[in-house]
A and B are shown apart, each in its own frame.
Chain A
């Protein structure tokens, strides 16, 4: 019969007697558990940030860029050859079943003036469906309408950063701002989105009807030209079909022969971001695995000290055996000692890990997320390390011959 509470007391006492040694042994586990928690927090923080960026970009998004021009054998970058039109955008909307919404974009940079304030920002000419395509909501006011697009009215929606720079605390709705010296009525304010994956301020923008941008702000090389077309697929599963449909439709519309290259490019940003998210997850796993190694090393430290302890206390083991301790009484005593070391180390490690990841997020500016699961995992793992590495010394102790152990000096 073994008495667990008393065995715990015996173990605690043994650890208290050698305070310094116990603390140093625990240090391995403390650092191990702390590292696991901090590393997982950094990794989880990174993937969470990417997930946020994906959703801020707009989900299930395809971006169609015009093709590259070739001038005297020198190929220019994507978008240098204007090939996309408003007609393409309408056709995609009408003829691609996997597509839910389409927003053509004709944009440029312009100086914007309100009262004494002025600000240079990106002005995006588009259609009302832009808000749907990019999962954007309005913080105030209203969206512009198809009618605004048809008649190229001078109305605009402001991003939060533009509002901050031009209006400060004032309510911009109904005010007039000047874009390239033309007066525009502010009819709405976009809800803030924050930084994009590339670190751009997505709120530093102004939306105007695409026709207004074409005819009054930036001009076009030919009528109806747009710089890009943004396409939202109906669902994530529809992304690939949508990409295919858009490709086929545009090749047909642009009269591209079977062997000719596309004069446009379709980019699947969601896919790129998902790949990034995947690699972050792998990274997290890797970081956690590396940190686990230090936990393992801590466990070996425990085993080392427990072996020393068994040798030192050979006589005590002999006394206990003579008095009637059975094999498992002795084993449990030493296993519980190892377990106590590793669990106390585990708790201290959790505290270290949490404060460590706080420090990382404060000083390195990385977002860290401590999941309860990682705490549970690290704690459970440290307990297992204690049992695993405590077992061999305990096993050794239980095999001692009582007579030899009693005579041990």
Chain B
């Protein structure tokens, strides 16, 4: 079943008097449980495409269906609700709230979903355990290593049982060994929990963890190939 269906998506930015075509009609279907890597040089349109897939931005033209919901019809708050329920974000810069404990960071999506405090706590502790951070709930981001912070971010992405995780260069700020650990967690989530993972990277060895690699250039998909996981 297709969880994401993008049809002829275009995105035009206006910079002063010039229109910039960031995406020139991109079509893509992603099935539930896929592990997809998106590659391409900067300026190729992959970030723009990811923002649209993540419901952070709307396409100028074309149609984007997420679990058969037409994203183009939704307003700002409805998009926020979709992000909250359907998509877990993992960023290159971790993007945890500073001066806020790991546990509370993980609880955050549930806070905006109106889940009662007790249940929030239980689910957040479970999610932290899931990424191997049991007992670190009280630590603040500045007391955690980069790898640990990224695990907190993954726990936060998981905690609302989102079917999709969007990981935007999740290993960009990490060393090789830690990168491998983070990727193992993503692979585990993909295989064990059937979470669809969309990974943006420009490192080939990171992309190698995926099952399908898509390459962007100048606002278009130039290659789309299935790969065997090593």
Q: Using CB atoms and an 8 Å cutoff, list the residues of chain A in contact with chain B.
A: 1-3, 5-6, 13, 17, 315-316, 318-327, 329, 402-403, 406
Which chain A residues border B80 with CB–CB below 8 Å? 321, 324-327
Which chain B residues border A325 with CB–CB below 8 Å? 80, 112
Which chain B residues border A327 with CB–CB below 8 Å? 76-77, 80
Q: A403 to B56, Cβ gap below 8 A?
A: yes
Q: A324 to B84, Cβ gap below 8 A?
A: yes
Q: With A319-B96, A326-B112 given, can you name 8 additional A-B contacts, CB distance below 8 Å?
A: A1-B114, A17-B99, A322-B83, A322-B95, A323-B89, A324-B80, A324-B81, A324-B85
Knowing A1-B114, A323-B156, the reply to whether A403 touches B83 (Cβ < 8 A) is no
CA distance A396 to B76 in the complex (A): 15
CA distance A113 to B56 in the complex (A): 99
Selected contact of B112 from candidates A17, A315, A323, CB within 8 Å:
A323
Selected contact of B89 from candidates A13, A17, A322, A326, CB within 8 Å:
A322
CA distance A316 to B81 in the complex (A): 18
User: What's the interface size class on B, roughly?
Assistant: 20 to 34
B117 at interface, CB cutoff 8 A? yes
Which chain A residues border B81 with CB–CB below 8 Å? 324, 326
Selected contact of B113 from candidates A316, A318, A324, A403, CB within 8 Å:
A324
Selected contact of A1 from candidates B57, B76, B113, B160, CB within 8 Å:
B113
Q: A320 to B108, Cβ gap below 8 A?
A: yes
Which chain A residues border B85 with CB–CB below 8 Å? 324
B145 at interface, CB cutoff 8 A? no
Knowing A6-B117, A403-B56, the reply to whether A324 touches B109 (Cβ < 8 A) is yes
Minimum-distance CB pairs A-B, first 8: A324-B84, A1-B114, A324-B112, A326-B77, A326-B80, A323-B109, A319-B95, A402-B56
CA distance A2 to B77 in the complex (A): 12
B91 at interface, CB cutoff 8 A? yes
Selected contact of A406 from candidates B95, B96, B98, CB within 8 Å:
B95
Q: B83 to A323, Cβ gap below 8 A?
A: yes
* Binary flags per residue of B121-157, CB closer than 8 Å to A gives 1, else 0: 0000000000000000000000000000000000010
* Binary flags per residue of B43-80, CB closer than 8 Å to A gives 1, else 0: 00000000100101100000000000000000011001
Which chain B residues border A316 with CB–CB below 8 Å? 97-98
Which chain A residues border B108 with CB–CB below 8 Å? 320, 323
B111 at interface, CB cutoff 8 A? yes
CB A20 to nearest CB in B, in angstroms, measures: 16
7 A–B contacts, CB within 8 A, in A order: A1-B112, A13-B99, A315-B95, A323-B89, A329-B112, A402-B56, A406-B91
CB B126 to nearest CB in A, in angstroms, measures: 18
Q: A13 to B100, Cβ gap below 8 A?
A: yes
Knowing A1-B112, A323-B156, the reply to whether A403 touches B51 (Cβ < 8 A) is yes
Selected contact of B111 from candidates A6, A322, A402, A403, CB within 8 Å:
A6
Which chain B residues border A326 with CB–CB below 8 Å? 76-77, 80-81, 112
Which chain B residues border A403 with CB–CB below 8 Å? 51, 56-57
Q: A324 to B114, Cβ gap below 8 A?
A: no
Which chain A residues border B76 with CB–CB below 8 Å? 326-327
B78 (CB) vs chain A CBs: closest residue:
A326
CB B30 to nearest CB in A, in angstroms, measures: 20
Q: Which of B108, B112, B113, B114 has the most CB of A within 10 A?
A: B112
